[in-house]
Chain A
Amino acid sequence: GQQVMQIPQYQHVQEGEDFTTYCNSSTTLSNIQWYKQRPGGHPVFLIQLVKSGEVKKQKRLTFQFGEAKKNSSLHITATQTTDVGTYFCAGPNAGNNRKLIWGLGTSLAVNP
Chain B
Amino acid sequence: NAGVTQTPKFRVLKTGQSMTLLCAQDMNHEYMYWYRQDPGMGLRLIHYSVGEGTTAKGEVPDGYNVSRLKKQNFLLGLESAAPSQTSVYFCASSYFLANTYEQYFGPGTRLTVT
Contacts of A105 in B (CB 8 A): 42
Asked if A94 is at the interface (CB within 8 A of a chain B CB), the reply is no
B43→A43 contact, CB < 8 A: yes
User: How many residues does chain B have at the interface if contact means C-beta atoms less than 8 Å apart?
Assistant: 23
In this complex, the interface size class of chain A, counting residues with CB under 8 Å from chain B, is 10 to 19
Identity of the chain A residue whose Cβ is nearest the Cβ of B91 in the assembled complex? A42
From residue B23, how far is it (CB to closest CB) to chain A in Å? 12
A43's contact among B45, B50, B90, B100, by CB below 8 Å, is which?
B90
Alpha-carbon separation in the docked complex, A45 to B42 (Å): 15
A50→B99 contact, CB < 8 A: yes
Contacts of B90 in A (CB 8 A): 42-43
A42→B106 contact, CB < 8 A: yes
Asked if A100 is at the interface (CB within 8 A of a chain B CB), the reply is yes
Contacts of A43 in B (CB 8 A): 43, 90, 92, 103, 105
Alpha-carbon separation in the docked complex, A43 to B105 (Å): 6
* Residue interface mask B68-87, A partner, CB < 8 A = 1: 00000000000000000000
A88's contact among B41, B43, B102, B107, by CB below 8 Å, is which?
B43
3 closest Cβ contacts across the A-B interface? A104-B42, A45-B102, A42-B105
A43-B103, A48-B102 are known contacts; what are 14 more A-B pairs with Cβ within 8 Å? A31-B100, A35-B103, A43-B92, A44-B105, A45-B102, A50-B99, A88-B43, A98-B48, A98-B50, A99-B33, A99-B48, A99-B58, A102-B42, A103-B42
A-B contact pairs, 13 of them (CB 8 A): A33-B103, A35-B103, A43-B43, A43-B103, A45-B103, A98-B31, A98-B50, A98-B96, A98-B101, A99-B33, A99-B48, A102-B42, A103-B42
